[in-house]
Amino acid sequence: MSGFKKLKILAVLVLFVSFLSACNIGGSAGNACGSDGNHFVFATWAAGDELKEFEEIVDRVNENANGEYTIETLSIPSDYYVKISTLISSKNTPDFFWMTQELVSKYAELGAIADLSTSLSESEHLNPDDFYEGVLASATYDDKQYGVPWIANPLMVYYNKDLFDEAGVAYPSPTDDWTWEEFIEIAKKLTVQKEDVNGGKYQQFGTVVDGWPNIETFIWAGGGDIIAADGEEILLDTEESLQGLDILNEILESKITPSYSEVSSLGSNNVWFEKQRAAMFMGGIQDNFEEKIAKLPAEEQFEIGYAPMPVGLDGQAYSFDWTASTVMDEACGDNEVALQALEDMTLEFFKWKIASPLKGQVDQIVEIDPMKEPALETIQQSLTIARSANYIPEWNQINNRLWVELYTGMLNEPGVYDYRAKTKEIAEYARGLIANRK
């Protein structure tokens, strides 16, 4: 994800959260769950080919339900959350809808989505113990489970084996620990001037950091965090968190990544890896580099290697995980047929996208995407260390400042920007938001 795209997404989320609060959407319990004898509406942001695949799943689930219930698809391919909140405020809440991890706590606080804790604990197929703990936590708020994760996409390190061989650098292990210090030293060895076939000079970089990976990745690298698991204590300005930002600053200042302004010259950050202008890329396990590189002319192809995210200063490795969950209208929380429909849909999703958030299903990835087979060891490791931030209802206001002020400042002025002072300022702002909640 490019820094510019992330900025646009954050701006949309901040506007959306303001709209959400203004709508006063709590009270969706006034809705009836389902209609016309267990007919349920499932809202999704899927569009195009993804929507066709989604509808195939709905058709299959409906057929297997044998009339016990039916599911209808509601596709909302644009302004998804604005339209969802409008439906909720008008008492037309979809019975099921998708939600990314950042917003679960906000909807839960507003009383718009059902607490699924008891239902999941009694489920034979979606029991919380069967999920990767870090993935499941993305749909948890105030010790309650408000969503069912249906996908996990943790980060791992993709690297160009050909460029490593050319530089005489040993490959990182697909499963063993390596540190951020080792990552940076390897990236330095792979940051060299080169000449193309026409004699033109260009710079090859060790990696790409342009606002992606997100700032949590580096804060965790120091052993710190943004918000404590209790959702109350702000840890952003602890020395551990600041040391994590020191690691980010070292990456930017050592010029092992193209400058922030330079990244877009090739289109987006991932293109630097695809065009062999960057030797390592921190991407999600879903990234389809294998497919893209296989389609290149033979002389432009290269062999991909895989490694887990590096270990932080606390001796722990963390892999940021983008997760989406299915949530339910609050009115459906005790409807057994709706809960069965949710379970049936979720189990089908696990066969559709990589990776399933359930333990023990890594081998299934090859059935969905055979080109990922060489990465399975690293994917398994990445799922084990996957985690998200500790999201609270005020997350988007805090995260907007982390990106717009802190991360962007570091990107634009590496080695100059006073990121420690800015971090402490944002931490105090976050404490004020939490204090106003009470």
What's the pLDDT tens digit per position in 64-103?
Answer: 999 999 999 999 999 999 999 999 999 999 999 999 999 9
Looking at residue 397, its amino acid is: Q
Confidence of residue 199 (pLDDT cuts 50, 70, 90): confident
What are the structure tokens assigned to 195, written together?
């000449």
Comparing C-alpha atoms, which of 205, 180, 187, 411 is closest to residue 311? 180
For the chain, what are the domain ranges? Answer: 22-153+323-387, 155-312+394-437
CATH class in words for 155-312+394-437: alpha beta
Mean pLDDT confidence for 254-272? 96
**What pLDDT, in 10s, does the model give residues 26-66?**
443 446 898 877 999 999 999 999 999 999 999 999 999 99
**What distance in Å separates the CA atoms of residue 427 and residue 421, rounded to the nearest whole number?**
10
Query: What secondary structure does DSSP assign to 144-174, as a single string?
Result: EE--EEEEEEEEEEEEEHHHHHHHTPPPPPS
Comparing C-alpha atoms, which of 93, 120, 96 is closest to residue 32? 93
Phi and psi at 402, nearest 5°, equal -60, -40
* CATH (one of 3.30.1950.10, 2.160.10.10, 3.40.630.30, 3.40.190.10) for 22-153+323-387: 3.40.190.10
Q: Would you tell me the crossing angle of helices 3-23 and 80-89 to the nearest 10 degrees? A: 10
Comparing C-alpha atoms, which of 80, 98, 89, 101 is closest to residue 41? 98
**What distance in Å separates the CA atoms of residue 354 and residue 205, rounded to the nearest whole number?**
29
Q: Do domains 22-153+323-387 and 155-312+394-437 have the same CATH topology?
A: yes
Q: If DSSP codes are grouped into helix, strand and coil, which group holds residue 325?
A: strand
Question: What is the structure's pLDDT at 7?
Answer: 42
pTM over 0.85: yes
